[in-house]
Amino acid sequence: MGAKCTRTEFEYSYTDEPHASRRKEILTKYPQVKELYGADYSMVALVPCVVLFQIWMCWMLQDSSWPIVFVLAYLLGGTINQSLTLAMHENSHNTVFTRNYFLGRVFGIFITLPIGVPASVAFKKYHSEHHQFMGDDMRDQDIPHPIEAAMFNRTFTKVIWLILNPFFYALRPCIAYPKPITPWEVVSFTVQMLFNYAMMQYVGGAKGFFYLLGGSLLGMGLHPMAGHFISEHYIFFDNGQQTSSYYGPMNYICWNVGYHNEHHDFPWISYRRLPELKKIAPEYYDPLPHHTSWVKCLVDFCNEAGDWTVCQN
């Protein structure tokens, strides 16, 4: 079972939320950062290629053996669908269609089609509060609930929690902080169910659809791509920083979500321009401890010395 975690509580911070104050300092010193604001339409060209590839893979696997389907769902489907999940995250910040609410909603629904779950509208509804009230006991549903930390407090049980992470991530806000269902969520659900039915009935059958939906669940669980869930807001470093960046090759397929301090400082700067932000203000980011491996984050979290430590305000 592994040793019991020495710390399963949350660490509370009584200082100002760091991102707003750092953003103010950076804008005062480097007003040219505002030139990085604005729409970035690159995803409009890239995302449809990824979505079409996943549909093609669904079709290709309809007559494959289950072992091959499972392996490809983990290695390929999980990687690509987690990339699409992070594209959904990027789109939720209105960095694609900055002034067109309708197109932003439609594009978000389109992004998540291969994922198999109507996530985009509900995600945006909750994720905005993650930025506004980061670390808040109730309103920040991107961090685990204290009950989760108490239940999964050993090495083995934390592995189980990672495997079940997609279910916790989806159900946590519904249970701990429910919000009324919006008309756009009904639209998203209807479109997603029609897409899922078409994939099952006309494109890939059960095996092809498992590649899509099963890949999504596997990619959010015990998977290298899922390391970003742990690396972003768990406290790994002695300075107790609430947000940590990751600078490594996975950023190329994850829409630079690893530039997470930069992203929280300026959530309306698109993924392509976050490295430029870091270059403009290096003295604010280079000294901060950062991750270089998401796999190492998962290992460190699960090992006997790993703690359930996230910072709350």
What pLDDT, on a 0 to 100 scale, did the predictor assign at position 294?
96
| Tens of pLDDT, residues 141-169 | 888 888 888 888 888 999 999 999 999 99
Element (DSSP H or E) covering residue 274:
helix 274-280
**Cβ pair 30, 281 in contact under 8 A:** yes
312 phi, psi to nearest 5 deg: -120, 150
pLDDT per residue of the chain (313 residues) written in tens, 0 to 9 = 555 555 555 554 445 678 999 999 999 999 999 999 999 999 999 999 999 999 999 999 999 999 999 999 999 999 999 999 999 999 999 999 998 999 999 999 999 999 999 999 999 999 988 888 887 777 888 888 888 888 888 889 999 999 999 999 999 998 989 999 999 999 999 999 999 999 999 999 999 999 999 999 999 999 999 999 999 988 888 888 889 999 999 999 999 999 999 999 999 999 999 999 999 999 999 999 999 999 999 999 988 644 555 555 5
pTM: 0.91
Q: What does the alpha-carbon distance between residue 252 and residue 137 come to, in Å, rounded to a whole number?
A: 33
Q: Report d(CA 216, CA 199) in Å as an integer.
A: 15
Residues 224 and 75 sit within 8 Å (Cβ to Cβ):
no
User: How many Å apart are CA 263 and CA 257, to the nearest integer?
Assistant: 8
